[in-house]
Amino acid sequence: MNLYKIHRQLSLVALIPVLAWTLSGVMHPLMSNLKPNVNQRLVVNKDVKARDHFQLSVDSIMKMNHWEDIMSFRLVSIDSSVYYQFKREEGNTYINATSGEKLMNGDIHYATYLAGLYSGEEKQKIDEISIQKEFSNEYVKIARILPVHKVQYKRMDGLRVFIDVNTDRMTYATNSIRSTFQRVFLWAHSWTFLDFNNTFRLLVLGFFISISFFAGITGILVNTKFRKTYQCQQKSRIPWQRRWHRTLGIGLSFTLLLFALSAFMHMLPKYTALDKTSYVSSTSFSQEAMIFDLDTIKGDWINYQPLKIDGINYYQFHFKAGRGITKRYFHSISGEELIKGDSIYAVQLAKQYSGLTKVKNSTEVKKFANEYGFINKLLPVQKIQFEGEGNPRWYIDTATTFVGAIIEDKSAFSGFIFAYFHKYHMFDFLGKQARDTIMSLFALGNFLVSLLGLLMYINQKKAVKKRRRSKELVY
């Protein structure tokens, strides 16, 4: 079998997947322009707390409600009132910090309040509130946090925002148009219609990605082998589909190879990917352990919560620090500050979650960069570098105890390849719009190459049928 026939057969096998991937690839940058107009960068619940904002202590509230223990607590503002948000086994309980009155359906009230701040809409416009317990084609895994409250509004665009009442975050926002685009994209690009068995989905994807890659390789080899022959041909005798297929194909061949290679490398780590949302630090605090004199804490603090470090009770206080926030740790009895408490706590959580013991170092990460990118959502975090195969590093958000990312050398290299050669972050210096335009043009170009190849195949089949009919008429 000659090289041209191999290229044609590989291309036919990969045709439908490549058409789906490239067309959805063109769609992806468009989705960023379909985001609903909401307050993405809203700072919530970050006001400095004064002692007169609340009169009841944690231990007194526990005594009033006959609670023997709690899992945690923090302060939240709803409208103009300050509440304690207590985390207990049965869920969150909201207690007014001044009157001690319990807020019925507290999570719903707080989700409604936060959704209004982010969306700018009144609560009268809410159509439905539900709890989102798993990721879907609408609430995608990039949102990172579960469970959340889905708040849907009565609007022409069908706005829905997803609220995490435990972190005050709007984890995701979408509307009917964006949601439809998202579903089509995931169906055509990630093949979520095969999600009934993820291993099977990855194997099928891997097979067609490999075929696409080798189709591109053989296309380059065909053009190289017959280049002189092509140059000698009269352009007028070459069908326009073939001319454009050759020109665009060889011009964009490197982008197809990069798309396929980076997609394959990005897909491989998913066989051993860990569910970052499953890591939870479970603690319990008795009523006696919650006796604490807040007047001993000096400075503009905005919130505090209890935690355990090596079995000892501490309070994690959040302080205003310019535009940012710093975390300081104080002993629950003596009030003595734990130096480098954030690093110590992060190391403890990372060891607990990972099962690893040998720590090289820990550093605070305050902004997104190449390895710990925007996709990880959480900031600031502590980067805990362990010893061991692959140099594992765990990124821990000590405010929530969430895992921001788990990265090893292999996955870091895969992430770099995917970011630079699939999403073309190498063009970030030109700006997001320019990068998206370049990526869309590459995807559209490969779509046209595949479509032109299909037209060539159809025309060739028609020509063969025509010749056969001519021979039958002669005989």
168-179 per-position pLDDT tens digit: 999 999 998 888
Burial of 122 (0-12, 13-18, 19+ CB in 10 A): exposed
**CA separation, residue 69 to residues 54, 73, 260, 286, 359 (Å):** 21, 11, 54, 4, 33
The pLDDT score that the predictor gives to residue 226 is: 63
- Measured CA to CA, the distance from residue 105 to residue 102 in angstroms comes to 9
Helix then strand then coil, in percent of the chain rounded to 5, is 50, 20, 30
The pLDDT score that the predictor gives to residue 145 is: 86
Q: Is the pLDDT of residue 228 over 70?
A: no
The pLDDT score that the predictor gives to residue 130 is: 94
Burial of 240 (0-12, 13-18, 19+ CB in 10 A): exposed
Region 407-428: mean pLDDT is 80
**Lowest-confidence segment of 91-105, 191-205, 229-243 by average pLDDT:** 229-243
Q: What is the pTM of this model?
A: 0.83
pLDDT band of residue 204 (cuts 50, 70, 90) is very high
The tokens for 315 are: 């309070």
State the maximum Cα–Cα separation within the chain, in Å, rounded to a whole number: 107
pLDDT band of residue 48 (cuts 50, 70, 90) is confident
Cα 464 to chain centroid distance, Å, stands at: 50
pLDDT band of residue 135 (cuts 50, 70, 90) is confident
Contacts of 391 (CB under 8 A, 6+ apart): 385, 408, 409
- pLDDT above 90 covers what percent of the chain? 31
The pLDDT score that the predictor gives to residue 160 is: 93
pLDDT band of residue 277 (cuts 50, 70, 90) is low
The pLDDT score that the predictor gives to residue 275 is: 57
The pLDDT score that the predictor gives to residue 475 is: 54
pLDDT band of residue 348 (cuts 50, 70, 90) is very high
